[in-house]
């Protein structure tokens, strides 16, 4: 659905920044509804900046990481997808479709635990059709060692073998790794601490990643376990991050040439 503000400002769909503006407004609406924390706006801006320098598209390296991620989630014993405010504001419907296809719970995990936020995010996910939501009952929670932020409180994540963390902060990724969890990160910044700590780093915008994961899951559900394991074993995260950085350098070099054609 097109946010009211975009309609009112009559930004045409042909506008080169239409998609970016649409998701900005989702984040702003999310902040007004308490789904997104104020700091979530800044995190989104940081993401937009990195999206710009990867060409605002799902690159080959992201596609390779997505395949490894889906194969890992399909072969995991107790996988879980962590959800924060930005994720709930940007892709609630797609996230629920993915979690149902993979038969994986969603766990709400927030850095800023302002009163009422868990309730509204639960509503957003339920409205999108989610039935298996973790992280909403304080009595079920345990704490991750060595973490001071509110994100230390976990529910199913404590028992999980594989945790997918879209838009995560580095401290918690490190804490999850110390607990020997396999971590799948979705992060537009290929050199964030999260990106470097994760086992599988998908450097792409969550708005494109989740739909791509849905399609990959549909295909991979037809594969044999051995084939999925082969995909996982052939994946090299360090090499993939290196290639992503090379791709950014190439893109910037080309953009520099294009920019100077205009500046001449």
Structure token pair of residue 108: 């709400």
Spatial separation of the C-alpha atoms in residues 232 and 191, rounded to whole Å: 22
Cβ atoms < 10 Å from Cβ of 20: 16
Q: Write down the least CB distance from residue 45 to ligand ATP, Å.
A: 8
Nearest 10 degrees: CA dihedral of 120, 122, 124, 125?
Answer: 170
Distance from C-alpha of 244 to C-alpha of 169, rounded to nearest angstrom: 20
Cα 251 to its chain centre, rounded Å, is: 23
Applying CB under 6 A, among 46, 114, 119, 221 the residue interacting with ligand ATP is 46
- Residue identified by tokens 């079920």 is 140
- Please report how close the Cβ of residue 72 comes to ligand ATP at its closest, in angstroms: 18
Q: Under rule CB under 6 A, which residues in 81-140 are in contact with ligand ATP?
A: none
Chain residues 186-225 in contact with ligand ATP, contact rule CB under 6 A: 186-189, 192-194, 205-206
* Total of residues contacting ligand ATP (CB under 6 A): 17
Instruction: Please state the closest distance from residue 136 (CB atom) to ligand ATP, in A.
Output: 22
Least separation in angstroms between CB 208 and ligand ATP: 8
* Binder among 22, 24, 44, 181 for ligand ATP (CB under 6 A): 44
The answer to whether residues 69 and 210 touch, using CB atoms and an 8 Å cutoff, is no
- In sequence order, the β-bridge partners of residue 80 are 163
User: Does 167 participate in binding ligand ATP (rule CB under 6 A)?
Assistant: yes
Rule CB under 6 A: is residue 159 a binding residue for ligand ATP?
A: no
- The distance of closest approach from Cβ of residue 197 to ligand ATP in the complex, given in angstroms and rounded to an integer, is 8
DSSP 197-261: H-SEEE-S-HHHHHHHHHHHHHHHTTS-HHHHHHHHHT--HHHHHHHHHHHHHHHHHHHHHHHHH
State which of positions 170-189 bind ligand ATP (CB under 6 A).
Answer: 170, 186-189
CB of residue 230 to ligand ATP, shortest distance in Å: 28
Stretch that binds ligand ATP, among 121-129, 164-172, 230-238, 255-263 (CB under 6 A): 164-172
- Residue 56, interface with ligand ATP (CB under 6 A)? no
Residue 66 has which token pair? 């997505």
Positions that interact with ligand ATP (CB under 6 A): 43-44, 46-47, 50, 167, 169-170, 186-189, 192-194, 205-206
């Amino acid at each position: 659905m097109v946010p009211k503000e975009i309609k009112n400002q009559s930004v045409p769909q042909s506008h080169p920044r239409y998609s970016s503006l649409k998701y900005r407004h989702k984040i702003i609406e999310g902040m007004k509804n308490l789904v997104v924390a104020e700091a979530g706006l800044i995190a989104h801006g940081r993401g937009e900046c990195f999206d710009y320098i990867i060409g605002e598209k799902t690159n080959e390296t992201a596609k390779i990481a997505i395949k490894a991620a889906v194969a890992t989630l399909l072969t995991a014993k107790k996988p879980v997808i962590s959800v924060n405010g930005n994720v709930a504001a940007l892709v609630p419907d797609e996230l629920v479709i993915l979690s149902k296809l993979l038969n994986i719970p969603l766990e709400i995990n927030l850095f800023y635990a302002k009163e009422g936020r868990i309730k509204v995010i639960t509503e957003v996910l339920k409205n999108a059709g989610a039935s298996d939501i973790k992280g909403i009952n304080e009595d079920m929670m345990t704490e991750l060692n060595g973490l001071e932020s509110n994100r230390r409180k976990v529910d199913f994540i404590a028992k999980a073998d594989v945790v997918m963390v879209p838009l995560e902060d580095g401290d918690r990724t490190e804490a999850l790794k110390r607990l020997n969890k396999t971590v799948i990160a979705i992060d537009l910044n290929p050199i964030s601490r999260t990106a470097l700590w994760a086992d599988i780093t998908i450097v792409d915008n969550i708005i494109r990643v989740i739909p791509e994961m849905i399609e990959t899951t549909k295909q991979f559900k037809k594969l044999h376990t051995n084939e999925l394991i082969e995909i996982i074993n052939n994946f090299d995260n360090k090499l993939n991050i290196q290639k992503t950085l090379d791709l950014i350098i190439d893109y910037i070099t080309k953009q520099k040439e294009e920019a100077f054609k205009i500046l001449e």
